[in-house]
Amino acid sequence: MPNYLTKPLPDMSKMEKRIETWLGTNTYHHSEFWSIADLVKAKERAGVSISLCIPTLNEEKTIGKEIIMFKSELMDRYPLLDEIAVVDSGSTDETLAIASSFGADTYLSGEILPDQGFRTGKGENLWKAIYQLKGDIICYVDADIKNIHSKFVSGLVAPLLLRDEIQYVKAFYDRPLALSGGLRPSGGGRVTEILVRPLFSLFFPELTAVMQPLSGEYAVRREVLESLHFPVGYGVETSHLIDLYVKSGLDVFAQVDLDRRVHRNQTTIDLGKMSFGILQTFLKRLEHNGIVRGLPEFDSVFRQLQAEGKRYETRNRVIVEEERPPMITIPGYRERHGR
């Protein structure tokens, strides 16, 4: 029998105290950063630049509103952002044309670092953005948000501007915080609560303090992003949290409550595909970080069942969580950014 567990279990009493302390010091509500003018002053004092990346694939219905909001509020009215960029996987609708018409820089992921080839997946866009964008801080925001607001950027970059020790800031929404308006619905997304939080509870209990580990909105310092591995598919956010936590601990993270996020919901079938990819990434990160050893080779076929009347059949999909290396290891990146 292979010996999978190689590290002792933590002292849970100390763990609970650590989590409670972190929740009190590193969890914010966006209203604490209501003054964008003050954030601009903090940005100037820090001497940093900020880039916004919006990864896209066929988002023509919402991308225009996002660009208008961020450009008018965070570039024209307040110079918090230095660039707004759309990095696209190959949309077949009007996503790129609309984004460009409203003032965003637009890039095809496949044309960035062409010598590195192209992979399909959101994580690929996020990785390529590190090369293409200029900012000392990069903020990622998904393109399908229907209730878009400037807080989706200003709220996330604020802890980085105000606290030098913070390196990675995650968003969460509709989560259990007792505010002046009362308690809001509890729990993370379905995949978070059914898969990721149980896995974190088993292997990284402190990371259970992150309200929504799979949220697509986060802001990160460049020197951190360039050092991280990037799964090109569903596992990119989970991979980031594990690798940075193992390297630097919980205190380099912060999270910001953005109240509410309205977007399209995925089907249970699609959530199953997502979970399969995340689980692959999770197991690989355990082995990469020396937490387990001797894992067997994974089967990359995800098998689902469907029924139509009295007819039953399997529905198989090959899902392989390919991984990009840290961007700092790419010679073209080091040359472009003088690293």
pLDDT value, residue 308: 83
Average pLDDT over residues 20-45: 97
The model's pLDDT over 199-250, given as tens digits with 9 standing for 90+, comes to: 999 999 999 999 999 999 999 999 999 999 999 989 999 999 999 999 999 9
Q: Which of 322, 110, 126, 111 is nearest to 226 (CA)?
A: 126
pLDDT value, residue 256: 97
How far is the CA of 233 from the CAs of 78, 123, 236, 280, 334, in angstroms? Answer: 34, 5, 6, 11, 24
What percent of the chain stands above pLDDT 70? 92
pLDDT value, residue 31: 97
Residue 180: pLDDT band with limits 50, 70, 90:
very low
Give the least confident one: 35-39, 93-97, 302-306.
Answer: 302-306
Q: Which residues, listed in sequence order, are joined to residue 131 by a DSSP beta bridge? A: none
What percent of the chain stands above pLDDT 90? 76
CA distance 61 to 309: 36
Domains and CATH numbers, the chain: 12-337 (3.90.550.10)
Residue reference for tokens 């059914």? 194
Q: Is the confidence at residue 334, as pLDDT, over 60?
A: yes
For residue 325, how far is the Cα from the chain centroid? 17
pLDDT value, residue 81: 98
> Within 13 Å and on the Cβ side, how many CA atoms surround 272?
13
How far is the CA of 327 from the CAs of 83, 323, 331, 332, in angstroms? Answer: 20, 11, 9, 9
> What value does the mean pLDDT of the chain take?
91
Q: Is the confidence at residue 112, as pLDDT, over 90?
A: yes
CA distance 56 to 90: 8
Q: Which residues contact 30 (CB under 8 A, 6 or more apart)?
A: 151, 154, 155, 256, 257, 258, 259
Residue 178: pLDDT band with limits 50, 70, 90:
very low
Torsion of CA 61, 65, 67, 68, to 10 degrees: 150
pLDDT value, residue 8: 59
Q: Which of 92, 87, 96 is nearest to 126 (CA)?
A: 87
pLDDT value, residue 125: 97
Residue reference for tokens 């003050």? 38
Residue 186: pLDDT band with limits 50, 70, 90:
very low
- Contact criterion met (CB below 8 Å) for 54 and 84: yes
The model's pLDDT over 48-104, given as tens digits with 9 standing for 90+, comes to: 999 999 999 999 999 999 999 999 999 999 999 999 999 999 999 999 999 999 999
> Torsions phi, psi of 111, nearest 5?
-95, -5
pLDDT value, residue 174: 79
Give the amino acid at 259: D
Q: Is the confidence at residue 195, as pLDDT, over 50?
A: yes
The model's pLDDT over 245-298, given as tens digits with 9 standing for 90+, comes to: 999 999 999 999 999 887 667 788 889 999 999 999 999 999 999 999 888 888
For β-strands 230-231 and 323-324, DSSP reports them as antiparallel
